[in-house]
Amino acid sequence: MESVYRFVAGIDVHKKMLAVVVRRQSEEHIEYRKRKFGTTQSEIEHLSAWLRSEGVAEVVMESTAQYWRPVWNGLEPHFRLHLTHPLKTRAPRGRKRDFRDAQRLADRWSSGDLEESFIPGAEQRSWRWLTRTRVSLKKKISVVRNQVEGLLEQGGIKLTAVASDVFGVSGWAMLEQIAQGVTDVDVLVGQARGVLRRKEGQLKEALVGRLEPVYRLLLKQYLDQVRLLRRQAEEIDQALAAAMAEHLPALHRLSQIPGVDLHAAQELLSEIGPGAAAFASAEQFASWVGVCPGSQESAGICYSYCSAKGNRYLRRLLCQIAWGAIHTKKTFFASLFARLKPRIEGKGAAWAVAHRMAKLIWLVLHNQVEYQEKGSAPPNERTILRKFKRMLKEFGRLGLDVRALLDQQLSALA
């Protein structure tokens, strides 16, 4: 293959060591220069100075766990960096060595034979850390919620069977009383607020139970954990609000989409970027996320249409947004799901809605347009005919003659 880059450095990244190969190509020959460096900040500075002295402009490395991040941060101000997936650059078995791996990276990148991973700028990477940490905190709160429910069941307290949210205002007040050793059912029921007040009889039956001192201690610790996690989530919310203050119009446009709230809009912005500039088209963005149909074809036969692996954070988020939009009445996505569900099973139809949602999000960010709700459009003649034919087939499977039934009804009316 024809070489594209003349001075390229390949770095094989490890926890304590960096194997670096500089590929210098002239019209006559190719020269390789090899050196090893450590992974401390001073060593990365020495690496940067050596690469500059060698005239390197392009640096390519593998995404080895989290060890590539400090190298990337140290070299980013001085070079054009590229990150590749290790599965796409894996060495043949029995031919793996550090310098050989680094040389392979430089050679393949010089010939344009490697696919580059999308790495956003430093500001957007900081947004990602905040939003992904907030998602992790929410998951931890869910884990503690399940632990509290198991602890209450240990003492025969069925609060979770009556209260929809055990960590709501009423449930939280009752849990604090139980952790303090209060066993009087009337006192516990008195903490109920709002809708729970109408369930006084059910609450009295559900709260008849008793926790041993050991379990009360554990319950108190679980509540302390939830307080800490909630406070940390609030601090992240404040930091995100300050960091994304310049991009309020983009957040507002995203929040107009059904199923997208402020937190979801912040996550979308942190993963994609304010203008989705890294993706040339909506189809390319949907493919990168991993919500479009895949293909596994051989000898003219397609064996699977399963989606390829993509950004797992966005896949999870788009599925949540899609289900939220599906359950929003009189929206385009609710009608789209209703049309697709008879032909595709429920989860497959929701996956198709997520695919359409991904394309819409790219349009909203890339073209800076407002979302316009189409609503649930009335069925056209073609849709009505298709449904009528499907109903006739169902009647036929049941052994019913629709035409004979209609004749009987008309004769009865006459």
For every residue of 235-270, DSSP letters joined together read HHHHHHHHHTGGGHHHHHHHHTSTT--HHHHHHHHH
pLDDT of residue 307 exceeding 80: no
What pTM did the predictor assign? 0.82
Instruction: Please write the tens of the pLDDT for every residue from 54-85.
Output: 889 899 998 888 899 999 999 999 999 999 88
pLDDT of residue 306 exceeding 80: no
Residues 6+ apart with CB under 8 A from 44: 37, 70, 71, 74, 75
Quick one: pLDDT at residue 112? Answer: 80
The two beta strands, 7-13 and 58-62, are: parallel
Measured in whole angstroms, the distance separating CA 114 from the mean position of its chain's CA atoms is 25
**Location of structure tokens 């240990």:** 154
Q: Is 302 helix (H, G, I), strand (E, B) or coil?
A: strand
DSSP 86: G
Dist. CA 273–CA 48, nearest whole Å: 28
Closest CA to 260 of 122, 373, 125, 145: 373
Output the six-digit token pair for 259. Answer: 């199923």
pLDDT band at 410 (very low <50, low <70, confident <90, very high): low
Per-residue pLDDT, averaged over 271-280, amounts to 90
Q: What percent of the chain has pLDDT over 70?
A: 96
Quick one: pLDDT at residue 65? Answer: 83
Cβ–Cβ < 8 Å for 273, 244: no
pLDDT of residue 2 exceeding 60: no
Q: For residue 35, with 0-12 CB atoms within 10 Å meaning exposed, 13-18 middle and 19 or more buried, which class applies?
A: middle
359: how many CB neighbours lie within 10 A of its CB? 16
**Location of structure tokens 């690496």:** 47
Output the six-digit token pair for 171. Answer: 């449930």
128: how many CB neighbours lie within 10 A of its CB? 15
Q: What are phi and psi of 59, to 5 degrees?
A: -130, 130
Per-residue pLDDT, averaged over 24-32, amounts to 82
Closest CA to 230 of 111, 134, 304, 150: 134
Q: What is the mean pLDDT of the chain?
A: 87
Q: Is 406 helix (H, G, I), strand (E, B) or coil?
A: helix
330 vs 47 pLDDT, higher one: 47
Dist. CA 286–CA 362, nearest whole Å: 9
The two beta strands, 297-298 and 80-84, are: unpaired
**80-84: strand order across its sheet:** 30-37, 18-25, 7-13, 58-62, 80-84
pLDDT of residue 52 exceeding 80: yes
Cβ–Cβ < 8 Å for 366, 279: yes
Quick one: pLDDT at residue 231? Answer: 97
Quick one: pLDDT at residue 270? Answer: 94
Cβ–Cβ < 8 Å for 219, 178: yes
Quick one: pLDDT at residue 1? Answer: 45
Quick one: pLDDT at residue 313? Answer: 92
Q: Which of 86-100, 112-126, 175-189, 351-365 has the lowest mean pLDDT?
A: 86-100
Cβ–Cβ < 8 Å for 233, 344: no
pLDDT of residue 108 exceeding 90: no
C-alpha distances in Å from residue 74, one per residue of 71, 147, 336: 5, 43, 48
Quick one: pLDDT at residue 264? Answer: 94
255 vs 411 pLDDT, higher one: 255
Q: Which of 44-53, 81-90, 172-181, 354-363 has the lowest mean pLDDT?
A: 81-90
Q: Which of 120-124, 159-163, 236-240 has the largest mean confidence? A: 236-240
Instruction: Please write the tens of the pLDDT for every residue from 284-297.
Output: 999 999 888 777 77
